[in-house]
Protein backbone atom coordinates (compact mmCIF):
# COMPACT_ATOMS: atom_id res chain seq x y z
CA UNK A 1 0.00 0.00 0.00
CA UNK A 2 1.59 3.32 -1.07
CA UNK A 3 2.44 5.81 1.61
CA UNK A 4 0.42 8.97 1.98
CA UNK A 5 2.22 11.85 0.29
CA UNK A 6 3.27 14.84 2.30
CA UNK A 7 2.37 18.27 0.94
CA UNK A 8 5.67 19.98 0.22
CA UNK A 9 4.38 23.39 1.17
CA UNK A 10 6.85 24.18 3.95
CA UNK A 11 10.63 23.98 3.61
CA UNK A 12 12.42 22.24 6.47
CA UNK A 13 15.79 23.93 6.13
CA UNK A 14 14.96 27.11 8.14
CA UNK A 15 14.24 25.03 11.24
CA UNK A 16 17.41 22.98 10.75
CA UNK A 17 19.55 26.08 10.25
CA UNK A 18 18.04 27.71 13.36
CA UNK A 19 18.75 24.65 15.49
CA UNK A 20 22.34 24.33 14.27
CA UNK A 21 22.78 28.05 14.92
CA UNK A 22 21.40 27.66 18.43
CA UNK A 23 23.86 24.88 19.20
CA UNK A 24 26.76 26.91 17.75
CA UNK A 25 25.92 29.82 20.07
CA UNK A 26 27.33 27.79 22.97
CA UNK A 27 30.79 28.67 21.66
CA UNK A 28 30.09 32.24 22.84
CA UNK A 29 29.90 31.02 26.43
CA UNK A 30 32.93 30.80 28.71
CA UNK A 31 34.21 27.26 29.08
CA UNK A 32 33.01 27.07 32.69
CA UNK A 33 29.41 27.73 31.62
CA UNK A 34 29.14 25.03 28.99
CA UNK A 35 27.32 21.80 29.77
CA UNK A 36 29.55 19.24 28.11
CA UNK A 37 31.64 19.86 25.00
CA UNK A 38 29.96 22.14 22.45
CA UNK A 39 31.12 19.99 19.56
CA UNK A 40 29.12 17.10 21.02
CA UNK A 41 25.92 19.17 21.05
CA UNK A 42 26.47 20.19 17.43
CA UNK A 43 27.27 16.57 16.50
CA UNK A 44 24.02 15.32 18.07
CA UNK A 45 22.02 18.01 16.28
CA UNK A 46 23.72 17.23 12.96
CA UNK A 47 23.20 13.49 13.44
CA UNK A 48 19.51 13.98 14.22
CA UNK A 49 19.13 16.30 11.22
CA UNK A 50 20.34 13.64 8.80
CA UNK A 51 17.18 11.45 8.73
CA UNK A 52 14.88 14.35 7.73
CA UNK A 53 17.15 14.97 4.74
CA UNK A 54 17.40 11.29 3.73
CA UNK A 55 13.98 9.97 4.74
CA UNK A 56 11.26 11.99 3.04
CA UNK A 57 8.48 9.40 3.01
CA UNK A 58 5.50 9.84 5.32
CA UNK A 59 5.87 6.27 6.58
CA UNK A 60 9.07 7.36 8.34
CA UNK A 61 7.21 10.07 10.25
CA UNK A 62 7.82 8.49 13.68
CA UNK A 63 11.59 8.30 13.09
CA UNK A 64 11.68 11.91 11.93
CA UNK A 65 9.65 13.01 14.93
CA UNK A 66 11.92 11.22 17.42
CA UNK A 67 15.07 12.63 15.82
CA UNK A 68 13.64 16.15 15.81
CA UNK A 69 12.57 16.00 19.44
CA UNK A 70 15.94 14.57 20.48
CA UNK A 71 17.83 17.37 18.72
CA UNK A 72 15.71 20.16 20.20
CA UNK A 73 15.68 18.48 23.61
CA UNK A 74 19.50 18.26 23.64
CA UNK A 75 19.91 21.97 22.96
CA UNK A 76 17.19 22.81 25.50
CA UNK A 77 18.86 20.84 28.29
CA UNK A 78 22.25 22.36 27.47
CA UNK A 79 20.76 25.88 27.48
CA UNK A 80 19.01 25.45 30.83
CA UNK A 81 22.13 23.87 32.28
CA UNK A 82 24.33 26.76 31.13
CA UNK A 83 21.86 29.30 32.48
CA UNK A 84 21.81 27.53 35.84
CA UNK A 85 25.61 27.53 35.98
CA UNK A 86 25.74 31.21 35.16
CA UNK A 87 23.20 32.18 37.81
CA UNK A 88 24.94 30.04 40.43
CA UNK A 89 28.30 31.66 39.68
CA UNK A 90 27.05 35.26 39.86
CA UNK A 91 27.67 35.75 43.61
CA UNK A 92 31.30 34.71 43.19
CA UNK A 93 32.00 37.31 40.48
CA UNK A 94 33.89 34.63 38.57
CA UNK A 95 33.00 36.02 35.13
CA UNK A 96 33.94 39.45 33.82
CA UNK A 97 31.20 41.92 32.83
CA UNK A 98 32.03 41.32 29.16
CA UNK A 99 31.67 37.57 29.62
CA UNK A 100 28.34 38.04 31.40
CA UNK A 101 26.97 40.22 28.62
CA UNK A 102 28.15 37.81 25.94
CA UNK A 103 26.73 34.83 27.80
CA UNK A 104 23.38 36.57 28.41
CA UNK A 105 23.07 37.53 24.74
CA UNK A 106 23.96 34.01 23.56
CA UNK A 107 21.51 32.35 25.94
CA UNK A 108 18.75 34.80 25.03
CA UNK A 109 19.20 34.14 21.31
CA UNK A 110 19.37 30.40 21.93
CA UNK A 111 16.16 30.63 23.93
CA UNK A 112 14.34 32.24 20.98
CA UNK A 113 15.58 29.68 18.45
CA UNK A 114 14.97 26.65 20.68
CA UNK A 115 11.41 27.51 21.59
CA UNK A 116 10.61 28.49 18.01
CA UNK A 117 11.69 24.95 17.13
CA UNK A 118 9.48 23.48 19.86
CA UNK A 119 6.42 25.42 18.74
CA UNK A 120 7.09 24.50 15.10
CA UNK A 121 7.46 20.81 15.96
CA UNK A 122 4.50 20.47 18.34
CA UNK A 123 1.79 22.73 16.96
CA UNK A 124 -1.06 20.82 15.25
CA UNK A 125 0.92 17.59 15.17
CA UNK A 126 4.08 19.05 13.69
CA UNK A 127 5.07 20.12 10.17
CA UNK A 128 4.31 16.75 8.57
CA UNK A 129 0.78 16.67 9.89
CA UNK A 130 0.20 20.30 8.94
CA UNK A 131 1.36 19.62 5.40
CA UNK A 132 -1.31 16.95 5.04
CA UNK A 133 -4.08 19.51 5.53
CA UNK A 134 -5.42 21.81 2.85
CA UNK A 135 -5.12 24.79 5.20
CA UNK A 136 -4.32 25.48 8.83
CA UNK A 137 -7.53 25.97 10.80
CA UNK A 138 -6.76 24.37 14.17
CA UNK A 139 -3.79 24.28 16.49
CA UNK A 140 -2.28 25.47 19.76
CA UNK A 141 -1.93 29.04 18.48
CA UNK A 142 -4.54 31.29 16.88
CA UNK A 143 -2.70 33.02 14.05
CA UNK A 144 -4.42 36.06 12.49
CA UNK A 145 -4.90 34.23 9.17
CA UNK A 146 -6.99 31.61 10.97
CA UNK A 147 -9.56 34.22 12.00
CA UNK A 148 -10.23 35.46 8.46
CA UNK A 149 -13.31 34.48 6.53
CA UNK A 150 -12.49 31.66 4.05
CA UNK A 151 -13.65 33.80 1.13
CA UNK A 152 -11.39 36.65 2.18
CA UNK A 153 -8.47 34.25 2.51
CA UNK A 154 -9.13 33.00 -1.01
CA UNK A 155 -9.21 36.55 -2.34
CA UNK A 156 -5.93 37.27 -0.61
CA UNK A 157 -4.37 34.18 -2.15
CA UNK A 158 -4.04 32.58 1.29
CA UNK A 159 -6.65 29.87 0.89
CA UNK A 160 -4.12 27.14 1.69
CA UNK A 161 -2.23 29.14 4.31
CA UNK A 162 -0.26 27.20 6.90
CA UNK A 163 2.27 28.54 9.45
CA UNK A 164 5.92 28.16 8.55
CA UNK A 165 8.95 28.25 10.82
CA UNK A 166 9.27 32.04 10.55
CA UNK A 167 5.77 32.39 12.06
CA UNK A 168 6.85 30.41 15.12
CA UNK A 169 10.16 32.29 15.22
CA UNK A 170 8.21 35.57 15.35
CA UNK A 171 6.06 34.16 18.15
CA UNK A 172 9.12 33.03 20.13
CA UNK A 173 10.85 36.38 19.60
CA UNK A 174 7.84 38.27 20.94
CA UNK A 175 7.61 35.94 23.92
CA UNK A 176 11.26 36.58 24.80
CA UNK A 177 10.99 40.36 24.42
CA UNK A 178 7.47 41.18 25.62
CA UNK A 179 7.24 38.10 27.91
CA UNK A 180 3.85 37.36 26.30
CA UNK A 181 2.32 36.62 22.90
CA UNK A 182 1.40 39.70 20.88
CA UNK A 183 -0.80 39.01 17.86
CA UNK A 184 -1.05 35.22 18.37
CA UNK A 185 -3.29 34.07 21.25
CA UNK A 186 -2.36 30.77 22.90
CA UNK A 187 -5.07 28.10 23.06
CA UNK A 188 -3.47 24.89 24.37
CA UNK A 189 -2.30 24.30 27.92
CA UNK A 190 0.98 22.70 26.83
CA UNK A 191 1.75 25.79 24.74
CA UNK A 192 0.99 28.08 27.68
CA UNK A 193 3.37 26.09 29.88
CA UNK A 194 6.14 26.22 27.25
CA UNK A 195 5.70 29.97 26.88
CA UNK A 196 5.92 30.38 30.65
CA UNK A 197 9.22 28.50 30.66
CA UNK A 198 10.53 30.54 27.73
CA UNK A 199 9.56 33.83 29.39
CA UNK A 200 11.24 32.76 32.65
CA UNK A 201 14.48 31.91 30.83
CA UNK A 202 14.38 35.19 28.93
CA UNK A 203 13.74 37.11 32.14
CA UNK A 204 16.74 35.47 33.78
CA UNK A 205 18.98 36.21 30.81
CA UNK A 206 17.92 39.84 30.46
CA UNK A 207 16.79 41.13 33.85
CA UNK A 208 19.31 39.28 36.01
CA UNK A 209 22.41 38.54 33.96
CA UNK A 210 22.56 41.54 31.65
CA UNK A 211 21.55 43.97 34.42
CA UNK A 212 24.19 42.51 36.71
CA UNK A 213 26.85 42.85 34.06
CA UNK A 214 25.96 46.48 33.26
CA UNK A 215 25.88 47.34 36.98
CA UNK A 216 29.49 46.30 37.51
CA UNK A 217 30.92 47.79 34.31
The answer to whether residue 187 sits within a structural domain is: yes
Q: What residues make up the domain containing 127?
A: 13-215
Pairwise CA distance, residues 102 & 200, whole Å = 19
The answer to whether position 207 is within a domain reads: yes
Residue 6 within any structural domain of the chain? no
Angle between helices 61-89 and 38-54 (to 10 degrees): 160
What integer pLDDT is reported at residue 4 of this predicted model?
A: 43
**pLDDT of 6 over the 50 cut:** no
Instruction: For residues 23 and 43, give the distance between their C-alpha atoms in angstroms, rounded to a whole number.
Output: 9
Task: State pLDDT tens for residues 18-54.
Answer: 999 999 999 999 888 898 888 999 999 988 877 766 6
Residue 155 has pLDDT above 80, yes or no: no
Any domain includes 7:
no
Predicted confidence band of residue 214 (pLDDT cuts 50, 70, 90): low
Amino acid sequence: MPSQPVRQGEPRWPALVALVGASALFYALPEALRVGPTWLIIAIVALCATPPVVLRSYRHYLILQICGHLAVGTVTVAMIGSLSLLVSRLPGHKETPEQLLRAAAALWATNVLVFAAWYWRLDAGGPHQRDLRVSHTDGAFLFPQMTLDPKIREEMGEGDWSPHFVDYLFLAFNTSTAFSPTDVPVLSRWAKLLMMVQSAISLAAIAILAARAINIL
